[in-house]
Amino acid sequence: MNSLGMGIDAEISYEADRSPLKKSFNLVKARKLIYLFIFIKKLFTYRPSYMNLTVDANIHQLKKVWFIVIANQPYFGGGMKISPKSKPDDGMLDVIAVHDISIMKLLTVFITVLWGGHLNINNVDFFSGKMIQIKNFGSVKIQSDGEIVGMDEVAVEVLKEKICVMFKGRISL
């Protein structure tokens, strides 16, 4: 597992995988554009929600969360540098939380994530830890490496030479 996200990123992954337009984009060798197309659509339909983020027992209550991504390497989504400080072998998970920002600022985040510059934007918060929990107060999907794996609540812990992901009511190894 490279990354796990909750919020607009998971909603985009879910819709892109089911979109009849995906086949058309693939035919013209522009398959990544489906994600941009759906991102623009979701800017106007996705409603940021309230989430609790716990990093090694430190609780952060975040309002109007667009997304939270847990990563153990810098890149996701075909080359976006979502977590520029991540190292896969440092025994830590890095967390990027984007919250309390306008749609225009979210567009800036989207552009600067291409080279990792988004960490300098207010309300793009970076955390690092071994045990991460996210609880959404509403209904939102969770993606792991682009695949939908659950809803609303997740816990991820670094284990020596293992990763164990627990979703509400089940465990995936």
Reported as a single tens digit per residue, the pLDDT across 39-80 is 899 999 999 999 999 999 999 999 999 999 999 999 887 678
Please check whether residue 8 lies inside any domain of the structure. Answer: no
CATH code assigned at 55: 2.60.200.40
The residues with which 143 forms a beta bridge, in sequence order, are 5, 148
33 lies in a domain? no
The total domain count for the chain is 1
Domain that holds residue 62: 48-172
CA 48 to chain centroid, in Å, comes to 13
Q: What is the pLDDT, as a whole number, of residue 172? A: 47
Structure confidence at residue 67 (pLDDT): 97
Which residue did the predictor score with more confidence, 38 or 98?
A: 98
Mean pLDDT rounded to a whole number for the chain: 88
* pLDDT score for 33: 76
Count, residues in the chain: 173
**Predicted pLDDT at 16:** 86
What would the pLDDT profile of 131-170 be if each residue is shown by its tens digit? 999 999 989 999 998 899 999 999 999 877 665 565 665 4
User: Higher model confidence: residue 112 or residue 161?
Assistant: 112
Residue 20 domain-assigned (yes or no): no
d(CA 104, CA 92): 32
Q: Is 83 inside any structural domain?
A: yes
Instruction: Decide if 79 is inside a domain.
Output: yes
pLDDT (tens digit per residue) in 19-40: 877 667 666 666 667 788 888 9
Q: Determine the 3-state secondary structure of 157 from DSSP.
A: strand
Centroid of chain to Cα 83: 10
Q: Which residue has the tokens 């309300």?
A: 123
> How far is the C-alpha of 143 from the C-alpha of 11, rounded, in Å?
8
Residues contacting residue 17 through CB under 8 Å, at least 6 positions apart: 146, 148
Tell me if 118 is assigned to some domain.
Answer: yes
- Of 72, 38, 49, 40, the C-alpha closest to 158 is 72
Helices in 46-143 by DSSP H: which ranges?
Answer: 103-112
The reported pLDDT for the residue numbered 45 is: 94
Structure tokens at 163: 């990763």
User: In terms of DSSP H, where are the helices of 32-161?
Assistant: 33-45, 103-112
Q: Nearest Cα to 154, choosing from 84, 67, 90?
A: 67
Residue 77 included in any domain: yes
Q: Give the SS3 label for residue 104.
A: helix
- β-strand pairing of 49-55 with 131-137: antiparallel
pLDDT above 90 (res 95): yes
pLDDT at 171: 46
22 falls within a domain? no
